[in-house]
Amino acid sequence: MITNAQLPTDLQQAVSGESVDFALRSSRHKPKAYTAGFLGFGSCWTLFTLFFIAVFFGPFLLFGELDITINGEPTHITENNIDELLLPAIFLGIFVIIGLILLIHGITSAFARGGWYICLKDGLSYYRKGKTELTQWEEFNSAEAKDKDVILKLTTGGEIHIIGIPDAKKIAEICQRHINSAESAEDQAT
C-alpha cells in the first residue's frame, strides 16, 4: 500500500480487511486555479465596488456634504438629511459583502487541507472531516498525472483532483488500471 501520512484511526478501522492500493492525503482541498479564480475575481469585484463608493461617497466622507441629483432635482446632502443616501449605501454595501465573501472563500480554500483518497477494489473513497464518499470505478473515464497532481475524469464531465502527492504518475496508473478493469467487466456483462 502506498501512503504519504498516518491514516486517522477511524479511517484505519473502516478500511481494515479491504484490499487497499493506496491511501493518500491531498495537500490542498481545491486546485490552485480554483483558488486563484476566487481570489482574483473577489479582489477585482471588491476593489471596483470600493472605487465606486469612493467616487460616489468620497465628497460626503471628506467634506460632510454632497451635491447630487435625485429624481431630476438638485439636492444638497449634509449630515442632517443623510437618509437620502441610505438606499444607495445599502445597495453598494451588498456589493462589498459579495466581494468579501468571494475573497474569504478564496483565502480559506488556499489554506484548506485536502482529504484522504483511498483506492479500494470497488472504487475511490474520499474521506474528509469524518465524512466518506465512495465513487465507483465505473463512474470514471480516465486518470492522468500532472506534476504532483492526479486528475480523475468522471463520466459526468466533472473531475476529481488528488493534489500534491508523491508518485503521481504511479497513482494515476493504478487508478487507470482500475478504471479499465471496471470498463471491461461492464462490457462483459452486456
Least-confidence region, from 61-65, 87-91, 161-165, 168-172:
61-65
Q: Is the dihedral of CA 63, 64, 70, 75 positive or negative?
A: negative
Delimit the domains of the chain by residue range: 2-29+113-189, 34-111
127-154 pLDDT tens trace:
888 888 889 999 999 999 998 899 999 9
CATH topology of domain 2-29+113-189: PH-domain like (2.30.29)
Q: How many residues does the chain have?
A: 190
CA distance 129 to 99: 27
Q: What pLDDT score was predicted for residue 115?
A: 85
SS (H, E, C) 62-85: HHCCEEEEECCEEEEECHHHHHHH
Q: What pLDDT score was predicted for residue 100?
A: 94
Query: Model confidence at 176, in pLDDT bands (50, 70, 90)?
Result: very high
Structure pTM? 0.68
Q: What is the dihedral of CA 106, 107, 110, 114, to 10 degrees?
A: -90
CB 36 within 8 A of CB 107: no
Q: Is the dihedral of CA 127, 154, 113, 171 positive or negative?
A: positive
